[in-house]
Amino acid sequence: MRKLTARGRDEAHRAASALELFFDLCFVVAIAQAGIQLVHSVAEAHAAEGILNYAMVFFAIWWAWMNFTWFASAYDNDDALYRVVTLVQIAGVLVLAAGVSRAFEDHEFLAILVGYVIMRLALTAQWLRVARSSEGAERTMALRYAGGVLLCQVGWLGLLVLPEGGRPWVFLVMAVLEMCVPLYAEKDHPTTWHPHHIAERYGLFTIIVLGETIAAATVAVKSGFDESDVLDELVPIAAGGLLIIFAAWWIYFVVPIHGHLRSSKQAFVWGYGHYLVFASAAAIGAGLEVAVEQAIGKAHISTLAASAAVTLPTALFLLTVWALHARHFKVGTAQQLVLPTTALLVICCSFLGDWAVLAAGVVMAGAVAVGTTLTARMAAQENEDSGDSGESGGSRQAAPVV
């Protein structure tokens, strides 16, 4: 068993490992279960309750994933014990996934809590390994992490012992406390996370979540084809959903975000904000399923409500991606307004009835086209300016605008 020592932030060719990719795929199982239950809640006209449960369950999934991701970026030595402890975390998320339906239907959070505690205790064991392998400020940081995580697990017991009406407040308080642990632990000694590795890990998880969204929407459309003859209503949903998801992928990956992650302060805001990116991306798939169920008469909601189930998470995805990293690569007001304007137009599409999803997809595709056109024009202008000034060495690449 090797010491669990920090890896270098400037390490060359730092990439996601096969274990990390496997870890992500197992977490998507839990995300899929949360999405399924969100579909049932919205389709049965219990949207507010379903969204609250979804937010709570998704936080447990995302927070455990995020903590492992940043820990692995700094301390992955890939020895046998490290792999076994990671396996324990995977087991925890599977336990959590098994309890999602009870949390939504019966407000029973025992399995959710057990799965979450398993994941968090496994991470605590990793931090204790770091403390044993280090000294000074780094050892203090590791012990702060371990102690903070353990104390938070005691607080989560409130989900079991307090009345149902108090659970949202327990969730809110404990979520804030959980997010304060890294801030406190690293105030004197930041971990040596790797910018390229972190950007790649978040990007890969975004792809996996969008892929799960496509899978869920495809199954829903197929079921609609099998159970109903309303082909003319399902085709616009399928086409619009594909455009939305493809455009969401394009918009997320158009910027080289690793260059922006230079300090721990920037990284904390960016990393925490991805709760909304991941949650909204997964909710798009749930919304598409709701739209299909409404189209074939299985959902007890209006067309407007079914359309909003797609357009609202899509708009949230756009705004969050813009706020977290896209805006840092914009030049001028026109570029800054592309994504916020697109989000507003997508919301307006909610009122277009059976064509709402397709219209939202066209708006998203239009935003990509506009962004590509503006980028090309900016590049051409820079080439012209460079030629006029007699500069050598070619032109600078225009900032991406989508």
Domains of the chain: 18-192 (no CATH), 196-388 (1.20.1410)
User: Cβ distance 116 to 96 under 8 Å?
Assistant: yes
Q: Which structure tokens are listed for 223? A: 């079921």
Q: What is the pLDDT of residues 275-334, one digit of tens each?
A: 999 999 999 999 999 999 998 888 889 999 999 999 999 999 999 999 888 676 666 676
- Alpha-carbon distance of 92 to 274, in angstroms, equals 22
**Which letter does DSSP use for residue 326 in this model?**
G
Q: Where are the alpha helices (DSSP H) in 296-330?
A: 303-324
Q: How far is CA 29 from CA 96, 178, 212, 220, 313, in A?
A: 10, 23, 9, 17, 20
- Alpha-carbon distance of 222 to 69, in angstroms, equals 35
- Alpha-carbon distance of 28 to 253, in angstroms, equals 20
Q: Which long-range contacts (CB under 8 A, 24 or more apart) does 332-339 make?
A: 334/374, 334/401, 335/374, 335/399, 335/401, 338/367, 338/370, 338/371, 338/374, 338/401, 338/402, 339/251, 339/367, 339/402
Q: What is the pLDDT of residues 234-280, one digit of tens each?
A: 889 999 999 999 999 999 988 777 767 776 677 888 889 999 999 99
Q: How far is CA 354 from CA 24, 72, 291, 366, in A?
A: 35, 46, 9, 20
Cα R_g (the chain), whole angstroms: 23
Least confident residue range of 7-16, 55-64, 224-233: 224-233
User: Cβ distance 253 to 329 under 8 Å?
Assistant: no
Query: What local confidence, expressed as pLDDT, does residue 362 receive?
Result: 96
Q: Which structure tokens are listed for 267? A: 């990284």
User: Cβ distance 89 to 115 under 8 Å?
Assistant: no
Label residue 10 by pLDDT band (50, 70, 90).
confident
Collapsed DSSP state (helix, strand, coil) of residue 316: helix
Q: Please give the residue that has the higher pLDDT: either 226 or 170.
A: 170
- Alpha-carbon distance of 365 to 342, in angstroms, equals 10
Least confident residue range of 20-29, 160-169, 316-325: 160-169
Please report the DSSP string for 80-98 in residue order. Answer: HHHHHHHHHHHHHHHHHHH
